[in-house]
Amino acid sequence: MNPDPGAARPDLNQEKSLLSRIWQHRALYIAISPFYLLFAVFGLFPIGFSLYLAFHKWDGIGVMTYNGLNNFKYLLSDVEFWQAVGNTFMIWIYSTIPMLFFALIIAFLLHAPFVKFKTLFRVGYFLPNVTSIVAVAIIFGALFANNYGFLNYLLQSVGLPVVEWLNAPWGIKVAISSMVVWRWTGYNAVIYLAGLQSIPNTLYEAAKIDGASAIQSFFRITIPMLRPVILFTVITSTIGGMQLFTEPQILVGNDGGAGAAGMTIVLYLYRESFINNYFGYGAAVGWGMFLIIALFSIVNWKLVQGKSS
Amino acid sequence: MTSRSLKSVVLYIGLIGGMIISMFPFYWLIVMSTRTTSDIYTFPPKLWFGGEMWSNITRVLQQIDFWGAFLNTLFVAGMVTILVLFFDSLAGFAFAKFEFPGKKWLFVLLIATMMVPSQLSLVPSFVLMATFGWVGSFKALIIPGMVNAFGIFWIRQYATESIPNDLLDAGRIDGCNFFRLYWNVALPILRPAFAFLGAFTFIGVWNDYLWPLIVLTDERKYTLQIALSQLNGLYNTDYAMVIAGTLLAVIPLIIMFLFISRQFISDIAAGAVKD
């Protein structure tokens, strides 16, 4: 009995050359080759080329001129870029914390054994995730509108002053963040729910026999067992949060709205590259973004892992 | 007993409250699409349906080539989905069930490619498309997306567990080569995995915005999301029409999702928890 049919027959030609073994398996290489060919052309080559571009000055049409480290030097002192970095982080914080908090609560409620219509709730919470971001941004534009928005109606009807959401720097960030929260809370809740369901019941029963309270078993069993799942959601929402583009672009336009408060890193990259045609600088912004995401992901990973150990 | 029923009341209030927040934007989208623009610009907002939906939709169809954009999106998303299913399952099956020199190393490389953020190569990818003469063509949307690492990974996981080795051995004795094994043995077994990967890919392409925004230059080639953003930018004054267009663009996807939602959600959850 051989577990692997590819190696099923005893290999009588052990000493066959590597080349002939590759030739023998050519069908398999053909089967996997589309991915590698495509990645070489549309993944690897553009990355190398973007590094080359980042050292050049180019408007996409004229001559490419060597620019040395100037693009990167400019990037370091570019107030707009660093504002975009700051905005992206603020929006990430405004969105990720409530999103994961609400997701955890929803998952706990849905996990209760006597809840009925579980599927209905899951579908209802998940539905915003399927909707296109362009549509979401248009709807939320109406919800947060300065003068006639639904949120201002709510504020007024409880006797609070109206807020010019889309004219205030923090208001723009709240509007963008709430789109992210609305779209992704259900998704994360579904993932937490699956995590909760994978914790064996015997653990809780054993804790109960040992006299543990509900709160103790929550912090000693549920949270540690959920750790990998929480880590997964933190990492995915970090990557997603760093790449925000459509929400601010539709809501406040290419310039990021009032005070450029909605200017995110990718929106800035898009504007510099494709609106202003600074292709070389756009490539440098891309590398800056890549470094920031990488650093941030590492710090994040360490924090989430370290906190519970 | 009373403490338990109190608990369940609190629980249902929480769940239903969350559900109302989750569903409200959809409800309001429908309400606004049945109103006139001046209704939308009144305070307090109208929260019940009006009778203008048909005239709003008519104006959408006059202002933009909605059905053209709809068919463009359907074509691009359909093509990408079919190609992804074919190429990803072929590669996933090869990785799951066969040994060949360099397999481990190639698979690690495949996983590593998933960590590269696509925005990094946005500018050069556009330059590449311009060099190929693909700017403004559906090729720019379809060809770079027609096979992906996530799908290969997903199919490999599924194939490893679900395709019995005995069946492959039997096929081999009957003289099947790799491609016959793929077509006659693997494909029928992989079908349930196709449902998820297909829906996931289709929804992703349908909602894609940044890349089409960059490479689609010809109005007749616009996908729904681009057409919708144009509607939002150009005809700001006729807001009821923009909203009606948004509704039209959202409905097909929601209907599709509702049909497959149960399995789709379970598969998403399973994929995340397994890691």
- Distance in angstroms (rounded) separating the CA atoms of residues A139 and A133: 10
Cβ-contact B243, A136 below 8 angstroms: no
Please give the ipTM for the structure prediction: 0.85
HSE-up (13 A, CA, CB side) for residue B150: 14
CA angle B192, B202, B126 (to 5 degrees): 135
Token pair listed for A202: 């015997």
Residues 6+ apart with CB under 8 A from B26: A127, A131
Chain B contact for A153, CB < 8 A?
Answer: yes
> What's residue A3's pLDDT?
47
Q: Mind listing the pLDDT tens digit for each residue in A237-268?
A: 888 898 899 999 989 989 988 889 999 999 99
Task: Using the predicted structure, report yes or no on whether residue A4 has a pLDDT greater than 60.
Answer: no
Q: What pTM did the predictor assign?
A: 0.87
Residue A36 has pLDDT above 90, yes or no: yes
User: At residue A306, what is the residue type?
Assistant: G
Strand locations in A50-148 (E) = 56-57, 65-66
Cβ contact (<8 Å) for A28 and B265? no
Q: Is the pLDDT of residue B140 over 50?
A: yes
Tally the residues of chain B.
Answer: 275
Whether A130 sits inside 8 A of B225 (CB atoms) is: no
Least confident of A42-56, B46-60, B66-80, B242-256: B46-60
Average pLDDT over residues B248-257: 89
Do residues A161 and A170 touch, judged by C-beta distance below 8 A?
Answer: no
Binary contact (B28, A286; C-beta < 8 A): no
Asked whether the CA dihedral B112, B113, B114, B116 is positive or negative, the reply is: positive
pLDDT value at position A1? Answer: 40
State mean pLDDT over B190-204.
90
If you average pLDDT over residues B20-25, what whole number do you get? 92
> How near does any CA of chain B get to the CA of A94, in Å?
18
| Higher pLDDT pick, A10 / A126 | A126
Average pLDDT, chain B: 88
C-beta separation of A40 from A259 below 8 A: no
Angle, helices A118-130 vs A169-197, to 10°: value is 140
Number of Cβ pairs < 8 A linking chain A and chain B: 278
pLDDT value at A309 more than 50: no
Residue A15 has what pLDDT? 58
Residue A56's SS3 state is strand
CA distances from A72 to A281, B35, B124 (A): 8, 51, 17
Extract the tokens encoding B33.
Answer: 């699409």
Q: Give me the sign of the Cα torsion angle B154, B160, B162, B167.
A: positive
The reported pLDDT for the residue numbered B106 is 94
The 10s digit of each residue's pLDDT in A168-193 is 899 999 999 999 999 999 999 999 99
CA distances from B176 to B168, B169, B170, B179 (A): 9, 9, 9, 8
Please report the DSSP string for B157-190 in residue order.
Answer: HHHHHHS-HHHHHHHHHTT--HHHIIIIIIHHHH
Query: Whole-angstrom Cα distance, residue A101 to residue B26?
Result: 23
Residue ranges of E strands in A47-116 = 56-57, 65-66
| Nearest-angstrom CA–CA distance, A281 and A271 | 11
Check pLDDT > 80 for residue A297. no
Cα distance between the two ends of chain B: 40
3-state DSSP: chain B helix, strand, coil percent, rounded to 5? 80, 0, 20
Residues of A in contact with B44 (CB under 8 A): 153, 156-157
State mean pLDDT over A220-226. Answer: 88
Do the Cβ atoms of A46 and B172 come within 8 Å?
no
Q: Which residues 171-200 of chain B have a CB within 8 Å of chain A?
A: 172, 177-179, 182
More confident residue, A245 or A1: A245
User: Which residues on chain B are in Cβ contact (under 8 Å) with A122?
Assistant: 261, 265
Alpha-carbon gap, residue A280 to A157, rounded angstroms: 51
* Confidence at residue B274, expressed as pLDDT on a 0 to 100 scale: 65
Whether residue B16 has pLDDT greater than 60:
yes
> pLDDT for B145-174, tens place per residue?
999 999 999 999 999 989 999 998 888 888
**DSSP 3-state of B1:** coil
Amino acid at B234: L
Joined together, the tokens standing for residue A240 give 């997603």
pLDDT value of position B142: 95
Q: What is the mean pLDDT of chain A?
A: 87
pLDDT above 70 (res B234): no
d(CA B94, CA B156): 8
Residue A37 tokens read as 């060919």
- Asked whether the predicted pLDDT for residue B77 surpasses 90, the reply is yes
